[in-house]
Chain A
Amino acid sequence: MLKLNWRLALASAALCSSVVQAQGVVADGQQVAMKGDGSGAPCLACHGMDGAGNNAAGFPKLAGLDADYIAKQIRDYNAGTRVSGVMQPNVDNLTEQQILDVSAYYASLPSPDTAVEAEASLLASGKVLATRGDWDHYIPACESCHGPDSQGMGASFPALAGQHPTYIKQQLNAWRNGSRHNDPNQLMTGVAERLTEQQIEAVAAYLGSLSAKAGGQ
C-alpha cells in the first residue's frame, strides 16, 4: 500500500514537472519579441516596443492579453484557422516553447492606454452593444462572454476593452468572411455575422475608447 502511494506520488511529480516545463519564460519571450527567431520579423516591428500595437495599421495590442489566448492564436495562424498573410510567415518557424515564451512575455506587460476618442453618438450605440447586446437580432452583449466591462475572461474570451478599433473591425469582418474561424464552438462567428456595418463601427469605437485594466487580468 505504501509502495503504491510512493509510485503515485512519483507519477504525479513527473506530471507536475512536465506542466512546469510547458510554461512560457517571460525573459526568453522578450528576446523573441525584440529580435525575432531568425526567420521572421520581430514582433515589435508591428506590435511596438511596449506591445501597444498600432490603431492606424490595425496591429493589435498584445500587452496584457491572456497568455493562453495569444499562444492559441499563433498556433491557429500556423494551422490556417486564422488567416493572416502578415502573421503566418512570421510565426511559422516558432517552436512550441517560443510560442509559450512570447505569449507569456506579452501577457506580463501592462496594457498601455491607447484609448481613441470617437463621436458621442457612436460611442453610445457601441456601449449598448457591449453591455446590453441587441437581442432583437440575437446579438448578446460583448461582456456576457468577454467579462465585466469586456476586460477579458480566461483563455477563450480575450480582453476587448482598450483594443484598437481598426483591429476589432478587421476581426469582426474576418469572422464574417471566414478568414478567421478559430473561435471555439463558433461562439463568435454567429454574433459577427449578425452585426450590421454600423454596429461594427460603433462597437469597435466604444471598445477602443475604454482603458484596459493593468495587465488585463
Chain B
Amino acid sequence: MRTYTLMLITTAVMAAPAVAQDVKVPINLPEPKEGQYVHQAPSVDDLMTDESINPELRKVILKGRDMFMNTQQFRGKYVFNDMNCKTCHMGEGRLNWSGPVWPAATTLPDYRGKNKHVNSLEERIAGCFAYSMNGQPPAYGSDDMLALAAYHQWLARKAPVYEKNIAGRGFRHLGNKIPEGVSYEKGQAVYEANCAICHGADGQGQKKDGKVVFPPLWGDGAYNWGAGMTRIFTAASFIKNNMPLSKPGSLTDDEAWNVAWFINSHERPQDPRYTGDARETREQFIGFHKHTRYGTEVNGKVLGQHDNTGGKPFLKPANLKPRTFE
C-alpha cells in the first residue's frame, strides 16, 4: 500500500509537461540554390476553403488526391504491386526533395529521354503506373486520369509555367555519378542498421490486416525494373532526403549510395520494355539502364533475366506507346 501511494506521487511529478530543448533529430534538407524557384504547394485545407474553386472541380481534385494517397484501392486494375503514389512522393506529393509532383504540370509537354518523345502530363503519370506501380495506367482522357491530372495541376497553383529551375524537384540531388567503392556488403550493413526495422530483413516490407504499412523494396510487391527508382542515383537521393522516415539527411551521402546499390541489386518484376533478353534490353535502353544494375551479373546471376512480371498478368501496358507526330 505504501508503495502504491509513492507511485501515484511520483507519477504526478513526472506528468508535468516538458519543453523540448536542443534539437535531437534535425531536418537536414538541402537549401535551395541561388535563383531557384521555391514552390509552396497548396494544402487540402486551402482546397476546402478556396471559394474561387468550382465545387465540381473541387470534387475532382479530391478524387485525384484520394487516388494519389490510396492507390491500392485500384489493386488489380491499375496497380499490381504494393505501392501507392505517396510511397515515393511523400507529403501528399507536395513535399520538396520528395519528388513533388506538381512540376509535371508546369514543365510538360516536354521531350523525355526515357521514351524519346514529347510527353504530356497524362503520359508522365502513366509512366508511374507502368513502372513504379508495375501496373496498367488509367486510360488517357478517362475520369480517373483526369482526376489525377487535376490534382497535379492544382498543386502547381501559382507556379510559373515552363520554369525548370525548381528547388527540391526530382531525386537527383546527389548527382548521377555513382561514387567509387560502393558495394553490396557496405550497403547491406547500412540496410540492416537503418532500414530493416521497417522494411524487414528480407526487404519485403510489412503489412497489417492486408494493408501495406512499410512497402517492399524488392521482389514481386516492389517497383519493377523500368521504374526510375531502380536507378542507383534516384534511389540514393530519395533515401538521403527522405529515409528513415522523419529523419531526412541523417544518413551520409556514402551510406545513401551504398544502400541504394544494395537495394537495387535485388530482383524485381520485369521491365515492361523487356525484349526477352535482359542484356539486350539493357543495351536498347542504355540511357536509362546505365544507371541500374539490370542486365548485369550480380552475385552470379544476370538481374532481370526472367519472365516474372510480378502480380501483373501481362508485360507491357497497351497505352505505353511511341509518338511520332507525323
A182 at the interface (CB under 8 A from B): no
Partner of A148, one of B95, B208, B246: B208
B245 at the interface (CB under 8 A from A): yes
Cβ–Cβ contact A190 & B25, under 8 A: yes
Q: For A156, list chain B residues within 8 Å (CB).
A: 197-198
A169 at the interface (CB under 8 A from B): yes
Cβ distance B66 to chain A, nearest Cβ, rounded Å: 12
Chain B 188-243 residues near chain A, CB threshold 8 A: 194, 197-198, 206, 208-209, 211, 213-214
Q: How far is the CA of A153 from the CA of B211 in the complex (A)?
A: 11
Cβ–Cβ contact A185 & B247, under 8 A: yes
B contact residues, total (Cβ < 8 Å): 41
Cβ distance B167 to chain A, nearest Cβ, rounded Å: 15
Q: For B11, list chain A residues within 8 Å (CB).
A: 57-59, 86
B244 at the interface (CB under 8 A from A): yes
A34 at the interface (CB under 8 A from B): no
Considering residues A144, A151, A156, which has the most beta carbons from chain B within 10 angstroms of its beta carbon? A144
Cβ distance B249 to chain A, nearest Cβ, rounded Å: 11
Q: For B246, list chain A residues within 8 Å (CB).
A: 138-140, 187, 190-191
Q: How far is the CA of A148 from the CA of B95 in the complex (A)?
A: 22
Q: How far is the CA of A11 from the CA of B214 in the complex (A)?
A: 34
Q: For B211, list chain A residues within 8 Å (CB).
A: 147-148
Cβ–Cβ contact A145 & B198, under 8 A: yes
Q: For B197, list chain A residues within 8 Å (CB).
A: 156, 184-185, 187
Surface stretch bound by A, among B86-94, B106-114, B124-132: B86-94
B52 at the interface (CB under 8 A from A): no
Q: How far is the CA of A90 from the CA of B20 in the complex (A)?
A: 28
Cβ–Cβ contact A45 & B213, under 8 A: no
Cβ–Cβ contact B206 & A153, under 8 A: yes
Q: How far is the CA of A190 from the CA of B243 in the complex (A)?
A: 13
Cβ–Cβ contact A177 & B213, under 8 A: no
A18 at the interface (CB under 8 A from B): no
Q: How far is the CA of A193 from the CA of B23 in the complex (A)?
A: 7
CB-based A-B contact count at 8 angstroms: 110
Cβ–Cβ contact A153 & B91, under 8 A: no
B318 at the interface (CB under 8 A from A): no
A132 at the interface (CB under 8 A from B): yes
Cβ–Cβ contact B7 & A173, under 8 A: no
Cβ–Cβ contact A84 & B14, under 8 A: yes
Q: For B44, list chain A residues within 8 Å (CB).
A: 132
Cβ–Cβ contact B244 & A178, under 8 A: no
A contact residues, total (Cβ < 8 Å): 47
Partner of A185, one of B19, B21, B194: B194
A136 at the interface (CB under 8 A from B): yes
Give the nearest-CB partner of B26 in chain A.
Answer: A190
Cβ–Cβ contact B17 & A140, under 8 A: no
Give the nearest-CB partner of B25 in chain A.
Answer: A190
Cβ–Cβ contact A193 & B25, under 8 A: yes
Cβ distance B190 to chain A, nearest Cβ, rounded Å: 12
Q: How far is the CA of A41 from the CA of B4 in the complex (A)?
A: 7
Q: How far is the CA of A170 from the CA of B15 in the complex (A)?
A: 6
Cβ distance B68 to chain A, nearest Cβ, rounded Å: 12
B10 at the interface (CB under 8 A from A): yes
Q: For A215, list chain B residues within 8 Å (CB).
A: none
Q: Which residues of A contact B (CB under 8 A)?
A: 40-41, 45-46, 57-59, 84-86, 90, 132-133, 135-136, 138-140, 144-145, 147-148, 151-154, 156, 166, 169-170, 173-174, 176-179, 184-187, 189-194, 197
Q: A147-B213, A190-B27 are known contacts; what are 19 more A-B pairs with Cβ within 8 Å?
A: A45-B4, A45-B7, A58-B11, A86-B10, A86-B11, A132-B44, A135-B95, A138-B27, A139-B246, A140-B246, A144-B213, A147-B211, A153-B213, A166-B15, A170-B15, A185-B194, A190-B246, A190-B247, A193-B20
Q: List 14 A-B contacts (CB under 8 A).
A: A41-B3, A57-B12, A58-B15, A86-B7, A132-B44, A147-B213, A166-B15, A170-B14, A186-B25, A186-B247, A187-B244, A189-B25, A190-B26, A190-B27
